[in-house]
Chains A and B, each alone.
Chain A
Amino acid sequence: MINADKKKEMKNLSEMLLETRNLTKKYGHHKAVDSVNMHIKKGAIYGFIGRNGAGKTTCLKMISGLSKPTCGEIEMFGHKGKDLQKVRSRIGCLIEAPGLYGNMTAYENLNIKCKLFGIKKKSYIEEILRIIGLEDVGKKKTKQFSLGMKQRLGIGLALVGEPDLLVLDEPINGLDPQGIAEIRDTIQRLQKEKNMTICISSHILEELSKIATDYGIIHNGSLLQEITREELMRRCSERMELTLDHPKLAIPVLDSMGFTNFQVTDKEHIHIFERLNESAVLNMELAKSGIPVKGISITSEELETYFLNLTGGADHA
């Protein structure tokens, strides 16, 4: 019985909260988003990476219901097609710059959205203001806010109605390091305290790498890769890179030597992520087994380099 419950729980945990299938958006003849298949797990912080103009915002707008796909499908919380309307209120979003009424206070801006959800409690707004760190702004009009404060209020607005999925489009754009750190803390706190699933887009990779648990890399409207944090770290971490004609033949040798953390990446390469100082011994063992080694090197990659390599090199950046 316990096992059955555990299995069910495991299944639920691995459930996708959002899936897109061939999501496409065309403006005239230009495809801003081209057949994107995104997968966001429950409770994940999904880092959506892409250069300016890659199609991040368009994609997030379609997910948030602000824009209609030209073709393709979105499935959220198990609903799709016309049924999607039923779960739209479970998404909070901050798309592009925060949309605020400049001549109103933070409280009033939040109160407008609270009215939409029928929330009357004053303490509800005060709690949101506390979460986003704006509890002391008083009657200051939002037009007098700094960019960081506006971004945080934008996140606060997205939080009204207790959404299960929070979509944040470039929330750290234009912020100073202090502002970035504040937004990062807020996002992490939300994920931990409220177990929210968060989709956050940015082109500042270092920042995303500090919080994201999964990544989607988009380029020229196409989703190039979806990858977990562990996998990305693995790909970027220091490793021994073996170049061989037949990598599969080397696997028994690696096994016999006790290597466990390695990966055959393509037809010619094996990446080994442990015992990096044993390259000479490994070379000798492979030679003894009659497996010629074409190259052996120790390499590592910056996250940015990984991204640039994937999207066509630094010359395009």
Chain B
Amino acid sequence: MLNIIKMDLYRMLKTKSMYVIWIVLAAILLITTFLCKTDYELLTEKDAMKQEQVTEPTVDNINVGMMVTLPTEPGEKVTVYDIFFANSQGKLYALLLVIFTVLFSTADISSGYIKNIGGQVGNRGSLIFSRSITLSVFTVLTMTGGAFLFQAAANCIVFGKLEWGGNTKAILSYFVAELALHYALVLICMAIAIILKNNVISMVIAVCLTMNVMTIVYGVVNSAIQKIGIQNFQIYKYTITGKLSLLPMNPSGNECLAAFGVAMVFIVIMISVSSVVFQKRDI
């Protein structure tokens, strides 16, 4: 098993798209930070109140599409945490993570390399497990690098100073919860890519997921459940994309636990489903 993980890690390190994703992330973070500065300078208190209503995540303000809104109020300093929160909630990280996930998960299938190794591995499901471990490394590196390296650098360049913001405990709780949720989303996209074996369709679905397209489906499910008599049920609370949108900037312990719980359930289900499919299907 360790050998398979080493093999996948080596493959990931040799994959050009990983570095392209990181370069794109760094460039986007720099641009968005610059745009944030411009917006922030034009922001009045009236606008800020309006914006606060939008950035405070609720079920009602989950919209289809991508929206990055800075939570900083006029007079406050724009911190790394502010912009990381805005980008996470706006699913910028998620978008880049799922693009790489689809490319990486299907690379050996589309290149045919899987034929060289698929027959020689005792249990083909272990290839999926090692892939999920490798993707966890990528998720951690991307989000940590994105938040603490690229974003910090962008803040230094654009604002001329570095403000981390928030207290360390709040930052870490939010960061770890976001990490788990993003990883669960990555594994959902890995499962889609492995089951469908089609890069284009998988990529479209993955991007749609990050763009909250499932909101439409969730709305239908919510009203259906309410019709059968269960009031105040919100499926968003039990989905990864819903949790990603709803996790507040200063999450309570319960909110973090709930996010973790949902992420873990999806992580286990996705690894199991992909492993079974990959094990049973012919190469």
Contacts and interface: CB of A to CB of B under 8 A. Distances in A.
Contacts of A94: 116
Contacts of B161: none
Interface stretch (A14-22, A114-122, A183-191, A291-299): A114-122
A66 B115 CA distance: 7
B14 interface: yes
Given A68-B282, A104-B14, A112-B11, A85 B120 contact: no
Nearest to A27: B282
The majority secondary structure among interface residues of chain A is mixed
A289 interface: no
A68 B279 CA distance: 10
B283 A66 contact: yes
Interface in A91-110: 91-104, 108-109
A282 to B, nearest CB: 54
B205 interface: no
B91 to A, nearest CB: 28
A98 B4 CA distance: 21
Contacts of A89: 120-122
A115 B3 contact: yes
Contacts of A117: 3
Interface string B105-147: 0011001111111111111000000000000000000000000
A99 B4 contact: no
A111 interface: yes
A100 B111 contact: yes
B113 A101 contact: yes
Interface residues of B, number: 26
B118 A113 contact: no
Contact of B115 (A85, A88, A99, A112): A99
B77 interface: no
Contacts of B121: 88-89, 116
Interface in A117-135: 117-118
Interface residues of A, number: 37
A111 B14 CA distance: 11
B111 A161 contact: no
Contact of B116 (A67, A88, A99, A111): A99
A101 B106 CA distance: 12
Contacts of B119: 64-66, 88, 91, 93
Contacts of A112: 7, 10-11, 14, 113
Given A99-B115, A100-B111, A100-B113, A61 B120 contact: no
Interface in B251-283: 280, 282-283
Contacts of B118: 65-66
A88 B6 CA distance: 20
A270 interface: no
Contact of A61 (B114, B117, B283): B283
B16 interface: yes
B107 A101 contact: yes
Contacts of B11: 101, 112
A111 B280 CA distance: 27
A158 interface: yes
A104 B115 CA distance: 17
Nearest to A156: B116
Contacts of A157: 116
Nearest to A90: B120
A161 B120 contact: yes
Contacts of A95: 115
Contacts of A97: 112
Contacts of B112: 96-100
Contact of B16 (A67, A103, A118): A103
A157 B7 CA distance: 14
A100 B111 CA distance: 6
A210 to B, nearest CB: 26
5 shortest A-B CB distances, which residue pairs? A99-B112, A65-B119, A115-B7, A67-B282, A64-B119
Given A96-B115, A115-B3, 7 more contacts: A88-B120, A89-B121, A93-B115, A101-B113, A103-B16, A115-B7, A161-B120
27 contacts: A65-B118, A65-B119, A66-B115, A66-B118, A66-B119, A67-B282, A68-B282, A88-B119, A88-B120, A88-B122, A89-B122, A91-B120, A93-B119, A99-B112, A100-B111, A101-B14, A103-B16, A104-B14, A108-B14, A112-B7, A113-B116, A115-B3, A115-B7, A116-B7, A116-B117, A116-B120, A117-B3
